Amino acid sequence: MRADVSPEERQSVEQALAAGRLTVVDPATGYHRSMYAACPRDGSAAAVWRIARGAGGAVIELTMHCSQCGHEFKAAREAIFLR
């Protein structure tokens, strides 16, 4: 599992969440990169399960779900990665 996020990836995640999106489009390929976070129990990639929106539709909170162990947790913004 990844331990760091590049400044470019961090900025892309922040911009997408501010715009209310859960994916980031790769300009070179057109591929939609989805967000995930490492499960605190087993380190597996956990997908977005629920979201909370704030003013203007911005995503203010992500609840993740690990498909390996079933754990549900709130992901810190700095712990969100792109696939």
C-alpha closest to that of 13 among 30, 28, 34: 34
pLDDT at 1 over 60: no
Q: What is the pLDDT of residues 31-56, one digit of tens each?
A: 999 999 999 999 999 999 999 999 89
Q: State the pairing for strand pair 45-53/72-75.
A: unpaired
- pLDDT averaged over every residue in the chain: 93
Q: What is the pLDDT of residues 6-29, one digit of tens each?
A: 888 999 999 999 999 999 999 999
pLDDT at 6: 83
Q: What is the pLDDT of residues 64-78, one digit of tens each?
A: 999 999 999 999 998
CA 20 → CA 1, 39, 59, 77, distances in Å?
26, 23, 5, 14
